[in-house]
Structure 1
């Protein structure tokens, strides 16, 4: 009996250890190009080479796109005037109240996506930005084959999104945007219209940005001016990112969370494709609808094409070592005066499932709860309801924990009743052990007869606790991936639920509750030296857990402390009902 319980508690300790290894800190990669706006629409005149990196060659079999059939019809967009207003700026800036987007004028790439209200560090001014170059802190120098480049100021990786048109003969067609126009909408949003030209082609990009939204509707169009022969182009949208991630270290929690591509097709609503998978070969799949994304903790960048149309999804490692994930639509022929257009939605922001599901029913799956999603999703909704009524995420954790413990009360109460019975008959069990200390077979027979006579079970206290373990893990996964908890305050000294308790009050309080709960559990005296050592070692378990919880996010420790408190109350009530005095504990 004691061996089973000690093993179970040891299992919980091991799970807690691995949870420690998996919990990432509230850190985010910061772009190194801090470009300040000069005007409302146009920013920085730095050369494009300092902003992002070009591919080594224009056409590369590893960086090419597969076309999807052909489409002869064109959109009938108007041909722009021959003369386009010239602007020498290398970057255009687009804004709403939550996003600051920067587009490279030459390539048309989205090279910055700054989230105005989401800060890199709490109480600081620097905002999180997903796209752009970033410094890689690597002691052994710049990693080879991961899309990073050694510069004079350090090793630099890159991350950007792009859309437009691709030609089998010329590669990615640079739009060379030279002008931008802003049109205000009635809902407070804006339409940005970028125009450019390259040789005998003219390009237009319309971007719809609405208040409070991290999504952009992007419509690219291309046409010919003065060309004698039609040209075939392939519409595309893609995300390119270097493949570097810090090596796993004991306290570098972020390196243990998933970072990489995700695809959704008609065959698989949510399919991870790790960077390591692309080392072995590319990926291609044709599908109707769907989406693609690069996922990291808290944030996601995603392209969602027009649904109901066929697209080819593809991913590969290109020659520079970076990873390209893309989608293409049907190729189409354009002729003089007959441009064509292609529309997608770019989402770049926090992983908030309600916002993501508005763009696609399956996009909210990037909030990854693992194999216990069927438990985690109701827990997340429960916490959201708690926040709506209480206005504080810490109180929402308290609310969700109380509701869960109430629902599981009958199950846990059965376990504590069994534990109370086992404690009550502890002296008789000790007598049997002493009486048959030299005859283990006889002791086993007598113990089984004793259990049957007294109506107790050696597993009665373990199984109910074990059945609650999935709920514990599901709650953990919710707290792990909830961007809402990032920098969220609780009460008094806890000002950030995603960071550790600065005064270690919760870890110490939890250790005290665990120790008292452990004291109440029945422990049968044993002459076995191994069991005696294990029982002695278990006395230090609350201290070990407290040490780990000192660097755990306060939100998770708060949940665990509330659960420990309710556990002690349940044990006390069960013991009192069984006629056991708590003074003897």
Structure 2
């Protein structure tokens, strides 16, 4: 009995710790990060940001500034080559040969059909500039290589699948640089760089690539359960540095540096990824860092110096991924290009061996039923079926406990002052009746890993983003949009502005609980009514409060997660009620 009590109390205390940690630790951390973000934005308006160094791994030169204009103005400033694919639209800037303009055709900012498409990359003169570029550099100051101001010539006006574009530039010293861009129907670019040496003497140059992002993204979740920021795989080891960690390292005067053969490196958002993919047989040095003076993050690589003989040439081919983190697509690219852990760009977490298979099963069910909400319900049935033997044994044990409740009360009244004798008599009672008091905890304990895995799936997979259910739930990855503040969806207004009201904002948070969290809380209460009442009054009160605690705790979670929990409770009630009926136990 004591073991059962300790396990159950541990569950309750764990839930309490999660809530308190969220309120008193994560809350202040997010407030601090928001303040830092606002300070960064103010700094950008007060002074010009600095342009990243042309050579990888170096900070910005003090004399290289940039003006901040609107995205529309920036796109009109110089010649460009248009990009048009089934999934992407944008352009390549011929000044610097940068990929700095990409819009995702398949994804919008909100679920509204008129919402603008997601803008992934933006020119360096915009406020939140985000771009990728490639090039060559030389240790010799006498050799002129392309830089950010180089004007390249294009042999066409548009890049599309099956229609490559080649850029050319002559340095005036006998070196001719060409850069061929190709793109597939999804999100992978192929970049082939070539250098022809007609200077009459050999030269040594080295290739590089980088991804640059100005400012911390405004929509970054800043959640420890989701990685957002610099990311890469070096010598088959995944390295993830959050925006905050990268800034902290910069404040200490350092940066993250790795050496490897091959790999990939870039910047990851919750749903989007921009990453450089050098040739997998190249030895390279990579840097992940933040420059506080220019307020930009940079992830780059530099390969070893290559000699281009007089009258000869050098050619290399690399790739760039820029788009949505679709799990199956990343896996396919990883196999195609022999990339290690490319699908790990989706943050399935430390328990990926559980989370990823759960997603694959959910995705397979979705392809059959056509609705992720229904897929979650079907997945719950499969999980219940897999756990049926364990749950059946547990519910039978709890039913027996309910029958034994009067005898347990008698023992407590008889030996209430003698804890040792009471526990001894109860253990004898359990032994005679063949009851395991801890068996009732097993279904809850087994559900916790599944619950966590589904939480990660709903949180990090873009397949779940804006996935509708039925009725008022238009996005399973977002909280239930209904509450008493909008009469459970009857009044179409954004009540979240009430949360900012001093003192009473917490009350509005309480009133913002939606329909599905209430359904979940009710099913949890109903299920607990079927369980035997603990003889300990304190323990009984704790169990009585659990449905209320979980209702408030899960209210801000993704609606898909709450629907899963409510449906799981409903199936458990049906299963437990059937077992009780067969055993002749009155509910």
* TM-score interval, normalised by the smaller of the two chains: 0.7 to 0.9
Query: CA shift at 1:455, angstroms?
Result: 1.4
Aligned to 1:359: 333
Tell me the residue number matched to 1:463.
Answer: 442
Establish whether residue 294 from structure 1 lines up as the match of residue 290 from structure 2.
Answer: no
Please tell me whether residue 566 in structure 1 is matched to residue 571 in structure 2: yes
Report how far residue 5 of structure 1 moved: 5.6
Residue in 1 that maps onto 2:135: 164
Take 1:371 and 1:380, find their aligned partners in 2: how far apart are those partners?
A: 15
Judged with a 3 Å threshold, the aligned counterparts in structure 2 of structure 1 residues 351 and 461 are, in CA distance, closer, same or farther, namely same
Greater shift in the superposed pair: 423-432 or 194-203: 194-203
SS at match of 1:510: helix
Contact 2:49 2:294 in 1 (8 A): no
> Equivalent of 1:179, from 145, 150, 154?
154
Alignment counterpart, residue 62 of structure 1, candidates 58, 63, 84: 58
Provide the residue aligned with 1:551 in structure 2. Answer: 556
Q: Structure 2 matches for 1:125-524, cutoff 5 A?
A: 125-132=115-122, 156-169=127-140, 173-174=146-147, 175-181=150-156, 189-200=162-173, 201-211=175-185, 213-223=186-196, 227=199, 229-242=201-214, 244=216, 257-268=226-237, 270-275=238-243, 276=245, 278-279=249-250, 281-318=254-291, 320-334=294-308, 338-361=312-335, 362-503=341-482, 504-524=514-534
* 1:7 paired residue number: 9
Structure 2 CA distance for partners of 1:435 and 1:566, relative to 1, 3 Å: same
Q: Distance in 2 between matches of 1:432 and 1:449?
A: 11
- Report which stretch shifted further, 320-329 or 433-442: 320-329
3-state SS, counterpart of residue 194 of structure 1: strand
Worse-superposed segment, 435-444 or 309-318? 309-318
Q: Does the CA-based 8 Å contact 2:84-2:158 persist in structure 1?
A: no
- Work out whether residues 501 and 554 of structure 1, in 8 Å CA contact, stay in contact via their aligned partners in 2: yes
1:496 and 1:19 map into 2 onto residues whose CA distance is 27
Name which of structure 1's ranges 430-439 and 272-281 shifts more when overlaid on structure 2.
Answer: 272-281
What is the aligned partner in structure 2 of residue 43 from structure 1? none
In the alignment, the residues of structure 1 paired with residue 544 and residue 388 of structure 2 have an alpha-carbon distance, to the nearest angstrom, of 26
Distance of aligned partners of 1:575 and 1:11 in 2 relative to their CA distance in 1, 3 Å threshold? farther
- Which piece of structure 1 moves more, 399-408 or 199-208? 199-208
Within 1, Cα distance between the matches of 2:51 and 2:204? 22
Asked whether the equivalents of residues 101 and 123 of structure 2 are also in contact (C-alpha less than 8 Å), the reply is: no
Residue 247 of structure 1, CA deviation: 11
Larger RCO: 1 or 2 (CA < 8 Å, sep 6+): 1
Measured at CA, do residues 161 and 336 of structure 1 come closer, stay the same or move farther in structure 2, by a change above 3 Å? same
Provide TM-score, normalisation by structure 2: 0.76
Q: Counterpart in 2 of 1:108?
A: 97
Q: For the residues of structure 1 that align with 2:145 and 2:211, how far apart are their CA atoms?
A: 13
* Length, aligned pairs only: 501
TM-fit CA distance, 1:160: 1.9
CA contact (8 A) 2:468 2:474 kept: yes
**Where do 5+ consecutive residues of structure 1 fail to align?**
24-51, 65-86, 135-148
> In the alignment, which residue of structure 1 is the partner of 2:107?
118
Q: In the TM superposition, what is the alpha-carbon distance from 1:113 to its structure 2 partner?
A: 2.2
3-state SS in 1 of match to 2:574: helix
Q: Unaligned stretches of 5+ in structure 2?
A: 28-47, 61-75, 336-340, 483-513
TM-score, normalization: structure 1? 0.77
Q: Deviations over 1:102-157 (max 9, x none)?
A: 333222222222111111111234111222279xxxxxxxxxxxxxx9x9xxxx44
Q: CA RMSD in A?
A: 3.4
